[in-house]
Amino acid sequence: MMDETPAAAVSITPEFESILRYLRTLAEPCAPPMGAGGFDVLYASAHEVVVWYSPARDGQMAREIAIPAEVLAAAWQSLCTGAMLDESALLALGLGSAGAAWVIALLAQIPGVRVRQEPLALAWTLLDLTPHPPLPQERGSQSLG
């Protein structure tokens, strides 16, 4: 019998539901931050996110990939606390290397998520969407003469 991973205890919060809604809006093919190829989000539910992977390498087959929503939610929760999300953090959630790569690929699509390439990791910053008044233009000193 497998031990339950910490991700199994994570509930789908309203905040994470907004991430699922955003993933549903992605109409264009997405590029993962690593590897070759692309993917399309087929659907995103409270149970799983399913993508259609289109590889760019010879010898690989296009296929559906299902990522459990609980694992994605746990990873998102970690990002929201200010943690850097890398492969070792995702492995601690009970994911293998391939699962970790798919969580990174999906979360990299979210606005405000920054990708660090070496070593591969994600960080998230809350975007400030409140409108700000334009700053007054600086006036150069003009001589009257």
Report residue 123: phi and psi, to 5°. -140, 155
pLDDT values of the chain reduced to their tens digit, one per residue, 145 residues: 333 344 444 567 888 999 999 999 999 999 888 877 899 999 999 999 999 999 888 888 899 999 999 999 999 988 888 888 888 888 887 778 888 889 989 999 998 888 877 777 787 776 544 454 555 554 444 444 4
For 1-15, b/e burial (b = at least 16 CB within 10 A) is eeeebebeebebeee
Residues 7 and 134: their CA atoms lie apart, in Å, by 44
The DSSP result for 59-105, as a single string, is T---EEEEEEHHHHHHHHHHHHTT--EEHHHHHHTT--HHHHHHHHH
Domains of the chain, residue spans: 7-124
Residues 8 and 29: their CA atoms lie apart, in Å, by 29
Sign of CA dihedral 123, 28, 16, 106: negative
